[in-house]
Structure 1
Amino acid sequence: MVSGSGICAKRVVVDARHHMLGRLASILAKELLNGQKVVVVRCEEICLSGGLVRQKMKYLRFLRKRMNTKPSHGPIHFRAPAKILWRTIRGSVVNLVYLCVSAYVSLFVCLLERCPVADYVDILLERYPVADYVGIDGMIPHKTKRGAAALARLKVYEGVPPPYDKMKRMVIPDALKVLRLQAGHKYCLLGKLSSEVGWNHYETIKELEVKRKERAQVAYERKKQLTKLRLKAEKAAEEKLGPQLEIIAPIKY
């Protein structure tokens, strides 16, 4: 999307349909840090590897992470697909700090009880699975001015709201499910997962998408007719011009 110069004022609209969540987020994060403005639409059709039941259980484990004394301080558990993508790009450092503190506490307990180091490692992995902490550093340093400016360049939506429904939409081949996920591997849609864990607008978005596609089909048929009439008019003009075409050919008529 951008050459790496960090200078690009054009806004790129990305159609997130059938893109892998992690791969899409990492590529978008890099482009945002390089200065690219990005709009992501159809976030409800982003794919996650693994079946729906597996992903739902993983999200329910995430819901249990809260601040004991004041849960409103975080972590915030977003349900909407667009906000889940946004949080994936932004990331969080809270869990990493928690993991480090927990590791030191577990090591101190093992030393007091004179447990072998191997037992300490087993206890640590049992209490704090590594899979729950992969990528928790985040993809954007959002607490710095540079990271905050990068996040400000990002817009995420469910469906395709105006005016982006009339703009050219791009895909990211490096993140497409059909190119990156093994054939036959289980996957689920982010919108379906969100509807299972508390997002209540999945059906509404699907209805709006049906209406948008109907409008787009009408516009496409009209465009085809206009193109056909234009070609017919150009052919008629060429027949009338006849030998004069050779005269105006040097000016690339």
Structure 2
Amino acid sequence: MHRLGRMASRIAKMLLEGRKVTVVNVEKAIITGKKHAILERYKFLISRRAFVSPKRGTVWYPRRPERIFSYTVYRMLPRHNKRWKEALKRLKVYVGVPRELEKVEKTVIEDAILREPRSRSGRIIRYMTLGELSKELTGGRLTYG
């Protein structure tokens, strides 16, 4: 299980170096924290309103796991020049493993893996997967494949 933020920051750096990156099983990426705190934060992001006019409705925020991940990587790229657009074109994100990528060798980002279920102080590390988060945000309407 890879932690979302650490994995996204490493992938953003790879993209800026010019490498093509394909992420599979993105629904298994985790966000650490208490479940209700994670849901509260993401529901707040989804329910934000535009400050310009209340008629405009809410500000867009992704709800599907592959889009949440892509958006997380996007927010870690520099947006003051053209590099971020070119970098995002080199990123592909999949829920599950597509057939054409089943036999391809996969790289693991070692420092993003959650190895121990407990922290150094002995507390249990609570987390939620992107798949679970997506189901909560979409009201259980999310289906894969």
Partner of 2:69: 85
- 1:39 is aligned with what amino acid? T
CA-to-partner distance for each residue in 1:192-228, whole Å, 9 max, x for gaps? Answer: 01101106334x45xxxxxxxxxxxxxxxxxxxxxxx
| TM-score for the superposition, normalised by structure 1 | 0.51
Shift of 1:144: 2.6
CA-to-partner distance for each residue in 1:78-110, whole Å, 9 max, x for gaps? Answer: 11111001001111xxxxxxxxxxxxxxxxxxx
Correspondence list, 1:80-159, <5 A: 80-91=64-75, 139-142=76-79, 144-159=81-96
- 2:15 is aligned with what amino acid? L
Partner of 2:129: 189
Contact kept in structure 1, 2:47 and 2:59, CA below 8 Å: no
Larger helix percent: 1
Change (3 A) 1:30 1:49: same
CA-to-partner distance for each residue in 1:28-76, whole Å, 9 max, x for gaps? Answer: 00010000100001010001111222211111111221323323xx631
Aligned residue-pair number: 138
Report percent identity of matched pairs: 35
**Aligned residue among 140, 162, 173 for 2:99:** 162
Contact kept in structure 1, 2:3 and 2:113, CA below 8 Å: yes
- The reply on whether 1:61 has 2:44 as its aligned counterpart is yes
| TM-score for the superposition, normalised by structure 2 | 0.85
Structure 1: segments with no counterpart, 5+ residues: 1-17, 92-138, 206-253
- The reply on whether 1:29 has 2:12 as its aligned counterpart is yes
- For 2:129 and 2:72, the matched residues in 1 are separated by 15
CA-to-partner distance for each residue in 1:87-134, whole Å, 9 max, x for gaps? Answer: 01111xxxxxxxxxxxxxxxxxxxxxxxxxxxxxxxxxxxxxxxxxxx
Structure 2: segments with no counterpart, 5+ residues: none
Contact kept in structure 2, 1:43 and 1:159, CA below 8 Å: yes
- 1:173 is aligned with what amino acid? E
Partner of 2:142: 201
Change (3 A) 1:165 1:66: farther
Tell me: higher relative CO, structure 1 or 2? Use CA pairs within 8 A at least 6 residues apart: 2
CA-to-partner distance for each residue in 1:218-240, whole Å, 9 max, x for gaps? Answer: xxxxxxxxxxxxxxxxxxxxxxx
